[in-house]
A and B are shown apart, each in its own frame.
Chain A
Amino acid sequence: MSSATTSTPGSATTPGSTTVGGGSGRRAGPLATDLRTVRILWRRETVRFLRNRARLVMGLAAPLLFLFVLGNGIGSASVGLGHYQAFLFPGMLLMVVQGPAVAVGTVVMWDRQSGFLRQMLVAPVRRGAVLAGICLGGATTGALYALPVLALAGPMGLPYHPRLLLVLAEVVLLAFALTALGVAAAVCIRRPETFQIVSGLAMAPAMLLSGALFPVGGLPSWLGAAVLANPLSYGVDALRRTMPEPDTGVPTPAWFHAGPQWWGWTPPVLLELALVVIPSLLLLVLAGRRFARID
């Protein structure tokens, strides 16, 4: 019956007389296969991004509106908040990358719904590599969104300093983390409607309590605790500490850099980044497991 079932994997290289397409091609090692899978999925994401112009415009419009209208409005309403536009800058960067991250999550949701992912599941590739490729694609599109915002550093009162390149690198990292979060949510949630509600409900307070829109130093203790528990707080703070000092001629006020503190200790920038990236990577691995499971 089922005794003699071993077949040499090498036999797959000879599809024999039944080849219609290009044959089974080169056989690469597992790592090379994973990297190839990541590259293919990454390319798919970027192609889709560039093809969808409407999404591109919408993704940029909202943050820029915030930056100019809110930044100018609050900045001119109060003399003491002269640095407000520069203060808002890292928050806006996070906001532009959050858009594509949620969008990629939504795409994964619909891909699952539409069956595109099933097509991936029957391909001889690792499912984790598929997810990693999708997340890298999200990170890249996020970074592309961030570029025009970064270009506006000057009008926001920030000098064009090489440190902005470091900021861009951090943005890529944060975009990857946020996309991973979005994809993990999309894999774990079954219905697209639920996903939309969850992402909407989660993102609004996460942005508000991250120090992106106002300094979080003087908040009541219970809100302060929420800020400390919010991974985005560390992302915003890392960006703000990495970006160049505003060059307005007046000294930067103390509230400007009042980021999250642990019992009086300010975590270093690298730790702050790790606090965003590592939990989302863990979630992604869990999601990958769930995604890979066959019933």
Chain B
Amino acid sequence: MPGDDIAVRTEDLSKLYGTREAVVGLGLTVPAGRIFGFLGPNGAGKTTTIGMLCTLLRPTLGDAWVAGAHVVREAALVRRRIGVVFQEQTLDQDLTALESMRLQAELYGLSRPAARAAGTALLGLMGLDDRSDGVVRTLSGGTRRRLEIARALVHGPRVLFLDEPTAGLDPQTRAAVWEHLRLLCREHGLTVFLTTHHLEEAEHCDRIAIIDHGELVTEGSPRELKSVIGADLVTLRTDDDERVAETVRRSFGLSTETGPDGVRLRAPDGAALVPRLCAELTVPVRSVTVDSPTLDDVFLHHTGRTIR
């Protein structure tokens, strides 16, 4: 069984629907107190994995432990120790924000005064103090999302699962949600396990696992993953792409790709290469761009296609 510093661990975790493999042989280790991102395109098996970790789906094969308890054999224990925010909205439209909080808290066994106190405190933490008496139906999308996160935390879980937490939110609200999540991790030692298909969002995570077609592709911190690519992408727009490609190959020993957007090549320190490159080239250069590697490059590198 994983120790206290491991929030989630899976071994050979698999889920089959008939013969369709939703998740295959997943082995994950999520350290406690971090934000862990589960990145993959739609339909990659992210939600199925969350379902198994939250005890809503029974794994076909393999094992998983969440907050120190086994998801099948000790499901009740897991449920008590986790908070879940689903992809779709699960608030009760007719209740007020505070009522939603109290209902959830009491459902997890908090006494009425404790439920009220915890509800009020978390609404404050998520910046919803002034909305506590607002009926959910009347709240905006971003407010509802924050309320859902607050509600998932009201019983003091060790691990918070978020399925696409900022889907459909405007950039401002998205930033606010992220700020709150980081605060929770830093100050309360909470582990956040979230799924996303947004690359920008994955950048915020301490660690990322990339999943595709139900299989783990790679895992690490965003920096580590990008360092595997090891090089910046330099794109040149010139009058004669063929000649440029030839020169780069001959003088710098770098392989190139020629596409509609010009000549693309990868180099460890792209910005430093540009002046030397331009000095060598005899063809007029119209523009040069240098991009450091993105997670999309990482995804492309491992799966041979882009995530979008």
**Which of B68-76, B197-205, B210-218, B251-259 binds A?**
B68-76
Beta-carbon contact of B11 and A122 below 8 Å: no
Kindly state the interface size class of chain B when it binds its partner.
Answer: 35 or more
A189 to B88, CA, bound (A): 20
Contact of B118 among A18, A21, A33 (CB under 8 A): A21
A4 at interface by CB-CB < 8 Å? yes
Mark contacts of A201-229 with chain B using CB atoms, 8 A cut-off: 1 yes-contact digit, 0 otherwise: 00000000000000000000000000000
Bound-complex Cα distance A24 to B118 (A):
11
Identify which of residues 67-83 in chain A touch chain B, using a CB-to-CB cut-off of 8 Å. Answer: none
> Is the pair A18, B68 in contact by a Cβ cutoff of 8 Å?
no
Interface check A268, CB cutoff 8 A:
no
Q: Which of B56-110 contact A (CB under 8 A)?
A: 56-58, 63, 65, 68-70, 73-74, 76-77, 79-82, 84, 86, 88-92, 94-95, 99, 103-110
Stretch at the interface among B184-192, B264-272, B279-287, B293-301: B184-192
Which residues from chain B contact A116 at a C-beta distance below 8 Å?
90-92
- Asked whether A21 and B74 contact (CB < 8 A) given A122-B84, A123-B79, the answer is no
A35 to chain B, nearest CB (A): 12
A25 within 8 A of B: yes
Q: Considering the chains assembled together, what is the distance between the CA atoms of A16 and B115 in angstroms?
A: 19
Q: Which residues in chain B, 20-75, are within 8 Å of chain A measured between CB atoms?
A: 32-33, 54-58, 63, 65, 68-70, 73-74
CA A47 – CA B135 in complex, angstroms?
Answer: 12
Q: B145 in the interface, Cβ–Cβ < 8 Å?
A: no
Asked if B1 and A4 make an inter-chain contact with CB atoms under 8 angstroms apart, the answer reads yes
Q: Are B99 and A47 in contact (CB under 8 A)?
A: yes
Interface residues of A in 252-295 (CB under 8 A from B): 294-295
Taking CB as reference atom, which chain B residue is nearest A11? B68
Find out whether the CB atom of B117 lies under 8 angstroms from the CB atom of A125: no
Of the 9-residue stretches B148-156, B164-172, B238-246, which lies at the interface with chain A?
B148-156
B121 part of interface (Cβ distance < 8 Å): yes
Partner of A5, one of B56, B57, B73, B109: B73
How far is the CB of A291 from the nearest CB of chain B, in Å? 13
Which of B33, B68, B135, B191 has the most chain A CB atoms closer than 10 A to its own CB? B68
CB-contact partner of B188 in A18, A27, A44, A52, under 8 A? A18
CB atoms of B155 and A115 under 8 A apart: no
Contact of B109 among A28, A44, A122, A294 (CB under 8 A): A28
Residues in A whose Cβ lies below 8 Å from that of B56: 118, 121-122, 294
Q: Which of B77, B79, B156, B158 contacts A122 (CB 8 A)?
A: B79
A21 near B106 with CB under 8 A, answer: no
Residues from chain A with a CB closer than 8 A to the CB of B32 are 18
Q: List, in ascending order, chain A residues with CB within 8 A of B79's CB.
A: 122-124
Q: Provided the pairs A52-B94, A123-B108 are in contact, do residues A22 and B118 lie with their beta carbons within 8 angstroms? A: yes
Residue of A nearest to B94 (CB): A48
- A5, A48, A51, A119 — most chain B CB neighbours (10 Å): A119
The smallest C-beta distance from B91 to any residue of chain A, in angstroms, reads 7
The 10 closest A-B pairs by CB, nearest first: A22-B118, A115-B90, A25-B109, A19-B156, A124-B79, A25-B110, A21-B156, A21-B118, A18-B158, A21-B154
Q: A24-B156, A43-B103, A123-B79 are in contact. List 6 more A-B contacts (CB 8 A).
A: A5-B65, A19-B188, A21-B156, A40-B106, A124-B76, A295-B57
What are 11 pairs between A and B in contact, CB < 8 Å?
Answer: A7-B74, A18-B33, A22-B117, A25-B155, A40-B103, A48-B94, A52-B94, A119-B86, A119-B104, A120-B107, A123-B108
Which residues of A are interface residues toward B (Cβ below 8 A)?
A: 1-2, 4-5, 7, 9, 11-12, 15-28, 33, 36-37, 40, 43-44, 47-48, 51-52, 114-116, 118-125, 294-295
